[in-house]
């Protein structure tokens, strides 16, 4: 790009950012955009809460940690559409007065995209922060502790980040894809689409943009990924995603837009569950007993039982799952039971 073309592009970006900031919240509300990080919460409500909060300083965080196994759509956006992501951050800075930002990147994304993103950010009040190792450091309140130099473990809510968060101040936290769509809404280019990552035993792996109303079956068919073998899917992430059978793929994906395909005849489901248990046992933050003890015993049972869970094993597992869902400190701990429960119910 020539210097003249780059200058013209920057002028256009500045114009639509300024125009968008005048009525951002209403545009976000009219669009119906919901957060793409997993919680599926209306984006405009978060922005409105932080904008309305009384504080001399506020913060905006783009969560680019993307810690869920086999989920990579945010990395795809940072590689191909970094300008749009940064434009979304610019709009947030314009909309929420007295604010400064953080770009919270996984170490891999920091190494791969940090230099290009810094060039796009220029002298904006946005600080780069490399996420510490560990899955839980990507949880929205754990990342607050990480930035503050504390152990990256989830905080008890309430208070919610929109009220009291980074350095005790109101904080807006959205993920990469959410900020991307904010920039598209600013340009009147949002048509209710979202990005889906497809992995596993897929013929055409990758990231695809499709309407958010598409059911899972349509997504697989439109991307040439409907298997010609007996299969099942894990939808919503490679760790906390639920197991769905072919006849259950008649609804849209909420939250994290990921689909992982498994060949049923070539997948050892016991080993798959042991892999999940190993992942959670190694990556939970150890802050609360349900996760700290629960994942240890879950892994132990699955290893001892080998490929033959007894009725007694299943009863103990049910107790562990109930403890996680009812008493785990954070939503990630509460969701961790989902893949095991759905696999045990549908695949045996």
Q: Residue 279: which CATH number?
A: 1.20.1440.230
Distance CA 210, CA 200 (A): 19
Whole-prediction pTM value?
0.91
Domain finish residue from 207, 231, 261? 261
Domain finish residue from 186, 216, 243? 186
Distance CA 167, CA 137 (A): 17
- Please indicate, yes or no, whether residues 168 and 44 belong to a single structural domain of this protein: yes
- Please indicate, yes or no, whether residues 225 and 293 belong to a single structural domain of this protein: no
- Please indicate, yes or no, whether residues 32 and 155 belong to a single structural domain of this protein: yes
| 19 phi-psi bin (left φ>0, alpha ψ -120 to 50, beta other) | alpha
pLDDT score of 134: 87
Q: Cβ atoms within 10 A of the Cβ of 129, count?
A: 16
In a 3-state reduction of DSSP, which class is residue 241? coil
- Please indicate, yes or no, whether residues 40 and 99 belong to a single structural domain of this protein: yes
CATH label of the domain that carries residue 214: 3.10.20.600
pLDDT score of 162: 97
pLDDT score of 254: 82
| Residue closest to 128 by CA, chosen among 89, 168, 72 | 89
The whole domain housing 309 covers: 269-346
pLDDT score of 228: 97
DSSP state of 99: E
pLDDT score of 22: 56
147-200: per-residue pLDDT in tens? 999 999 999 999 999 999 999 999 999 999 999 999 999 999 999 999 999 999
Distance CA 205, CA 3 (A): 37
pLDDT score of 337: 96
Per-residue tokens: 158:
């309430």
- Please indicate, yes or no, whether residues 150 and 173 belong to a single structural domain of this protein: yes
Distance CA 38, CA 141 (A): 14
Distance of CA 167 to the CA centre of its chain: 23
- Please indicate, yes or no, whether residues 220 and 300 belong to a single structural domain of this protein: no
- Please indicate, yes or no, whether residues 244 and 120 belong to a single structural domain of this protein: no
Domain finish residue from 186, 205, 228? 186
Per-residue tokens: 170:
């109101």
- Quick check: 188 and 80 in contact, CB under 8 A? no
Distance CA 25, CA 48 (A): 7
Q: 231-235 and 99-105: which strand pairing?
A: unpaired
pLDDT score of 338: 97
pLDDT score of 19: 53
- Quick check: 279 and 135 in contact, CB under 8 A? yes
Distance CA 34, CA 14 (A): 25
Per-residue tokens: 6:
């780059």
E strands, 212-284, are 231-235, 242-244, 258-263
| Residue closest to 174 by CA, chosen among 127, 258, 84, 104 | 104
| Residue closest to 244 by CA, chosen among 258, 306, 255 | 258
φ, ψ of residue 102 in degrees (nearest 5): -130, 140
- Please indicate, yes or no, whether residues 32 and 164 belong to a single structural domain of this protein: yes
- Please indicate, yes or no, whether residues 170 and 64 belong to a single structural domain of this protein: yes
pLDDT score of 306: 85
- Please indicate, yes or no, whether residues 302 and 153 belong to a single structural domain of this protein: no
Looking at the structure of the chain, the number of domains it has is 3
CATH label of the domain that carries residue 146: 3.40.50.11540
For the chain, residues with pLDDT lower than 50 are 6, 9
- Please indicate, yes or no, whether residues 302 and 335 belong to a single structural domain of this protein: yes
- Quick check: 132 and 152 in contact, CB under 8 A? yes
- Quick check: 65 and 138 in contact, CB under 8 A? yes
- Please indicate, yes or no, whether residues 17 and 110 belong to a single structural domain of this protein: yes
Q: Which helix (H) or strand (E) holds 340?
A: helix 337-346
């Amino acid at each position: 790009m020539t210097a003249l073309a780059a200058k013209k592009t920057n002028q256009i970006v500045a114009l639509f950012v300024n125009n968008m900031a005048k009525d951002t919240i209403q545009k976000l509300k009219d669009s119906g955009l919901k957060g793409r990080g997993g919680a599926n919460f209306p984006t405009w409500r978060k922005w409105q809460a932080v904008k309305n909060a009384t504080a001399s300083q506020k913060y905006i965080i783009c969560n680019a940690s993307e810690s869920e196994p086999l989920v990579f759509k945010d990395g795809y956006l940072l590689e191909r559409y970094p300008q749009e992501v940064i434009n979304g951050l610019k709009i947030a800075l314009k909309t929420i007065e007295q604010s400064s930002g953080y770009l919270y990147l996984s170490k891999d994304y920091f190494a791969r995209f940090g230099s290009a993103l810094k060039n796009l950010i220029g002298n904006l009040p946005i600080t780069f922060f490399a996420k510490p190792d560990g899955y839980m450091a990507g949880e929205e309140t754990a990342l607050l502790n990480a930035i503050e130099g504390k152990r990256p473990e989830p905080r008890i809510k309430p208070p919610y980040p929109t009220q009291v968060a980074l350095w005790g101040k109101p904080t807006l936290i959205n993920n990469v894809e959410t900020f991307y769509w904010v920039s598209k809404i600013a340009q009147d280019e949002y048509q209710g689409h979202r990005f889906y990552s497809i992995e596993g035993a897929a013929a055409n792996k990758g990231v695809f943009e499709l309407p958010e109303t598409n059911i899972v079956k349509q997504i697989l068919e439109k991307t040439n990924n409907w298997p010609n073998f007996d299969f099942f899917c894990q939808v919503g992430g490679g760790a906390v995603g639920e197991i769905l059978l072919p006849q259950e793929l008649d609804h849209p994906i909420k939250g994290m837009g990921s689909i992982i395909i498994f060949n049923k005849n070539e997948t050892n489901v016991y080993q798959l569950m042991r892999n999940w248990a190993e992942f959670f046992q190694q990556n939970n933050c150890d802050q609360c007993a349900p996760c700290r003890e629960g994942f240890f015993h879950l892994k132990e049972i699955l290893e001892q039982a080998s490929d033959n869970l007894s009725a007694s094993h299943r009863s103990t597992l049910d107790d562990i799952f109930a403890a996680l869902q009812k008493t785990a400190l954070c939503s990630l701990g509460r969701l961790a039971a989902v893949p095991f429960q759905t696999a045990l119910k549908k695949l045996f």
